[in-house]
Each structure stands twice: as structure tokens, then as C-alpha cells.
């Protein structure tokens, strides 16, 4: 009986922790939308900006969908966040290519599809490339920007390899 009670208690604690994470994420999502409506990005902390970038990097659809909003005022004034936004989208490309490809355009294709990472290790780059390429290939071929993104990814890796062998 004690074991059952203990396991039920631990299950309850685990579900509370999971729910707290969901609540925290929802509160941040609401805050981002509120900040955009009030046009005042100063209401967000650096940790909150880091969390937004993390959620985007994980390919979470609703966060990726905020990309156009986050590229504009008031968020466009947050330089360090803007510098990492396309990197977050590049990571999200491997996780949720269908969602990310909706936001690829002429102005950001090299930033999102071109592996915009700062001094990556070769094995990290190769792992990212393999995972991302497979994810993009799995997307329906008629999806806009799919083929251009794929060729940008391939060309970027080839250019990096050519540069590193010289």
C-alpha cells in the first residue's frame, strides 16, 4: 500500500512539474503577444527572450509562427535577440521544416537555410546537415522554398568544406 501511495505521489509531483512548464510557456506566449500589441519590448527580460529563442529552435509551431511578429517592432530593437532569431529558425528547420519553410524568403534564405552558426565544430555541422537535409527532403516537393532551401543548405556545406580544406 505504501508503494502505491508513494508512486501516486511521485506521479502527481511529476504532472505538476509538467503543468508548471506548460503554464510558464503559455504565460510567455501571451506576454510576447501583449508586448507586440503595446509596442514595448522592454517588458521582457533577457531570460524570456532566451526562452522564446529556445522554443523556436525546438520547432514548436506556435513559436515558429511568431517569426514575422518577432522580426518587427518592438522586437527589432533587441539586437542580440535579432542576431539569434534566424539561427533559432535554422535549428527549427531540422525539427519542423514544413512550418519554417513558410517563412523563408529571398531576404532570409541564406540565414535560415545556410547553416548560420558561429564557429561550429565539424561533427556538429555534419550532424545538423544530415538531420536537416533528411527533414527537408521528407517535406512535400511542392512546398514553396523547399528546393531552394535544400540547394542553399547543400551549397553552404560544400562552400564550408572547400574553405576548410584550403
Instruction: Give the chain's domain count.
Output: 1
> Per 3-state DSSP, what percentage of the chain is helix, strand, and coil (rounded to 5)?
75, 0, 25
Domain region containing 59: 2-165
pTM: 0.84
pLDDT, one tens digit for every residue, the chain (166 residues): 555 555 544 455 455 455 788 899 999 999 999 998 888 777 899 999 999 999 999 999 999 999 999 999 999 888 889 989 999 999 999 999 999 999 999 999 999 999 888 788 888 889 999 999 999 999 988 888 999 999 999 999 888 777 665 4
Amino acid at each position: 500500500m505504501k508503494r502505491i501511495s508513494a508512486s501516486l505521489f511521485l506521479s502527481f509531483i511529476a504532472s505538476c512539474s509538467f503543468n508548471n512548464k506548460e503554464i510558464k510557456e503559455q504565460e510567455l506566449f501571451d506576454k510576447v503577444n501583449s508586448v507586440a500589441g503595446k509596442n514595448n519590448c522592454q517588458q521582457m527580460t533577457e531570460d524570456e527572450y532566451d526562452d522564446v529563442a529556445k522554443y523556436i529552435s525546438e520547432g514548436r509551431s506556435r513559436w515558429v509562427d511568431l517569426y514575422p511578429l518577432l522580426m518587427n517592432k518592438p522586437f527589432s530593437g533587441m539586437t542580440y535577440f535579432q542576431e539569434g532569431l534566424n539561427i533559432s529558425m535554422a535549428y527549427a528547420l531540422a525539427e519542423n521544416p514544413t512550418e519554417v519553410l513558410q517563412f523563408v524568403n529571398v531576404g532570409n534564405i541564406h540565414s535560415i537555410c545556410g547553416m548560420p552558426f558561429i564557429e561550429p565544430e565539424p561533427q556538429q555541422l555534419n550532424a545538423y546537415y544530415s538531420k536537416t537535409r533528411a527533414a527537408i527532403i521528407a517535406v512535400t516537393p511542392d512546398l514553396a522554398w523547399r528546393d531552394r532551401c535544400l540547394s542553399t543548405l547543400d551549397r553552404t556545406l560544400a562552400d564550408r568544406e572547400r574553405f576548410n580544406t584550403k
